[in-house]
């Protein structure tokens, strides 16, 4: 595959199996991403060497027994990744103070889980792809 047709690596990090499955199916319909999904921050970080271009990350990762929350993962990515991926926080957490802290730490987009989440993700991914092509 050349650079134009090569699939872009995208990580999904969510401790909820159903959410992770649905999100993977939804994004996979685009056929341009090599989607890797993980149930914990630790699993994500053990694969960060794959250099994902986009990371979609839940804030609360406690169901999987993860000791890392979304903020911890963001900070670890910033320290470990060769190239900082586009980080999208997809979470039910809507505390404005936490959102602002995450944006300041390197989260590019913050999407609240709910009725509009998929349309917001579509817009974010479309914008990312447009930026990448320009």
Residue ranges and CATH numbers for the domains of the chain are 8-133 (3.40.50.2300)
Asked which of 43-52, 60-69, 120-129 is least confident by mean pLDDT, the reply is: 60-69
The overall average pLDDT reported for the chain is: 92
Model confidence at 96: pLDDT above 80:
yes
Q: Would you state the torsion angle of the CA atoms of residues 21, 17, 123, 99, taken in this order, to the nearest 10 degrees?
A: -170
Overall pTM > 0.85: yes
CB 88 within 8 A of CB 111: yes
- SS3 for the chain is CCCCCCCEEEEEECCCHHHHHHHHHHHHCCCCEEEEEECCHHHHHCCHHHCCCEEEECCCCCCCCCCCCHHHHHHHHHHHCCCCCEEEEEECCCCHHHHHHHHHHCCCEEEECCCCHHHHHHHHHHHHHHHHHC
Digit-coded pLDDT (tens) for 7-37: 999 999 999 999 999 999 999 999 999 999 9
Model confidence at 2: pLDDT above 60:
no
- The token pair that represents 112 in the structure block: 């609240």
Q: For residue 66, what pLDDT is reported?
A: 79
């Amino acid at each position: 595959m050349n650079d134009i047709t090569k699939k872009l690596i995208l990580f999904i990090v969510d401790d909820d199996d159903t959410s992770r499955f649905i999100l993977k199916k939804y994004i996979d319909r685009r056929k341009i991403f090599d989607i890797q999904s993980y149930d914990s921050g630790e699993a994500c970080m053990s694969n960060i060497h794959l250099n994902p271009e986009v990371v979609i990350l839940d804030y609360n990762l406690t169901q999987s027994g993860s000791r890392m929350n979304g903020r911890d993962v963001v900070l670890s990515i910033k320290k470990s990744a060769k190239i900082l991926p586009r980080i999208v926080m997809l979470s039910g957490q809507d505390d404005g103070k936490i959102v602002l802290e995450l944006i300041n730490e390197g989260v590019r987009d913050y999407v609240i889980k709910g009725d509009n989440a998929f349309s917001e993700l579509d817009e974010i991914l479309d914008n990312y792809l447009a930026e990448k092509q320009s």
